[in-house]
Structure 1
């Protein structure tokens, strides 16, 4: 987890000391042993491009949508991938309704960089008409319950949604071959995204005494 995101959720001193004492006793506050991972559950909805992830008690829901847009001038043959986050006030006492907090924005940036900088999604395959129309893929991440490892849960949920998402197939028509036809799913099967690999986020917490490590 990046430092700015960690700082926005700074732990009270008493909580930090309690966790250190538990780890020194080979226990965690949720009852796990030091080497035990949080239980991971992934549910895929009937609708393509949506997923629900439980990582321990952390609960995240994601949705993927797409629309045809003009490409960026410096990348005329590439589509785009955008990550947006929404923090429910019920998920954590520190989350407030209205304008997204800095922690929500930073969470989206961390997940976004992990996917884009690793080139997990083939953005060139999202090009429909060079310099004119490309697919813009949007991932909406909704935080339902925050109980730790939020970056990891959001990352896994985003990947699950992207893996199940299908975009409409397009073809070119017209006398000049520049007319884009978007085919409904009843006419042509939607197309999955080309995903080269799955970058998985893993968050660690370091403690100052006896080289303690929590994940």
Structure 2
């Protein structure tokens, strides 16, 4: 039996009408994030991130392996993610969706290729033994913008995790249990955070004189113009109906890691810079939130705050 069309025409019309009045269905301003929540598990490196109705679980485990032949002084980090029917009935078990491919590639760019983690610090014996980290991302519920939620869960999991301390005597490597010696935190260079904007473009004849914080008037043909609205951290309906998206990954030090634009909504350089500046402000706020959350959890475990 075919699934009913979603979203419906009334939903589309209502959302468009709200956006044209600079309103969102959940009451947020256009440039406001859903308030994130971080839930830490009993094990280090286990973090659940909640943003609205979106829930993502990130977990890290480590094992000792032989390094790659071309990188004998570096450890490894592998990222595995899968969107199962648990997140939404739109996804099928064993069938990779386009959204899953996009999210997985973006996670790899943000968390691994941005060099957030010092891979050389994972080396135990050069050319013989290094730590291999596996970051597993599980999508528990799709309430929109799973990418940003997964990136936040992933980087917090890396900062929360601690690897066992080891002793090296000649070629013998001894791994100490957490009970005998306190585990050590990973060497994190910086904390990249991803921010996604849903882009909507409407002809000015439809929007009238309505003004919004992030609107640009762009030429479209010879006789009309379009106004573009950028909604930070879109929910599921906004994400589904968006004409395009812009994802910006950066840290609180204003260092840009990844910029990815999808869809056909045009944005000139000035508009992109404006969105990047907004993302920097949000990154600084989230950095403070992450630091506070980690300190509270470590204090509850009796661990030293690094």
TM-score tier by shorter-chain length is 0.7 to 0.9
Give the equivalent residue in structure 2 for 1:189: 182
Q: Which residue of 1 aligns with 2:297?
A: none
Match of 1:5 in 2: none
Q: CA deviation at 1:117?
A: 2.5
Larger relative contact order (CA 8 Å, sep ≥ 6): 1
Any idea what the Cα deviations from partners look like across 1:134-169, whole Å, max 9, x if unmatched?
Answer: 111111111011111111100000111111111111
Distance (Å, rounded) in 1 between the aligned partners of 2:166 and 2:181: 9
Q: What secondary structure sits across from 1:202 in the alignment? A: strand
Contact 1:58-1:145 at 8 Å conserved across structures? yes
Shift of residue 13, structure 1, vs aligned partner = 9.1
Alpha-carbon deviation of 1:64? 0.5
Q: 2:121 is matched with which residue?
A: 125
Q: In the alignment, is residue 159 of structure 1 matched against residue 179 of structure 2?
A: no
The alignment yields a C-alpha RMSD, in angstroms, of: 1.9
Match of 2:289 in 1: none
Unaligned runs of 5+ in 2: 1-5, 203-226, 233-306
Matched positions, count: 202
In the other structure, the counterpart of 1:213 is 230
Structure 1 Cα separation of the partners of residues 143 and 37 of structure 2: 15
CA distance in structure 1 between the aligned counterparts of 2:133 and 2:182, rounded to whole angstroms: 18
- Asked whether 1:108 is paired with 2:104, we answer yes
Do the aligned residues in 2 keep the contact of 1:83 with 1:109 (CA within 8 Å)? no
Structure 1: runs of 5+ lacking an equivalent: 1-10
2:29 pairs, out of 28, 33, 36, with: 33
Matched, 1:20 2:16: yes
How far apart are the structure 2 equivalents of 1:136 and 1:102? 28
> Matches of residues 56-67 of structure 1 in structure 2 within 5 Å?
56-67=52-63
Name the SS of the counterpart of 1:53 in structure 2: strand
Q: CA deviation at 1:76?
A: 0.5
Map 1:31-110; keep pairs closer than 5 Å. 31-110=27-106
Distance in 1, Cα, partners of 2:148 & 2:171: 42
The 10-residue stretch of structure 1 (104-113 or 164-173) with the greater mean CA deviation from structure 2: 104-113
Give me the whole-angstrom Cα distance separating, in 2, the residues matched to 1:35 and 1:186: 46
Which residue matches 1:8?
A: none
Quick check: 142-151 or 24-33, which moved more?
24-33
Find the structure with the greater CA-based Rg.
2
Q: More helix by proportion, 1 or 2?
A: 2
Structure 1 residues 69 and 106 mapped into 2: Cα distance closer, same or farther (>3 Å)? farther
Distance change in 2, residues 1:31/1:76 (3 Å): same
Structure-1 separation of matches of 2:95 and 2:196: 26
Relative to the length of structure 2, the TM-score reads: 0.62
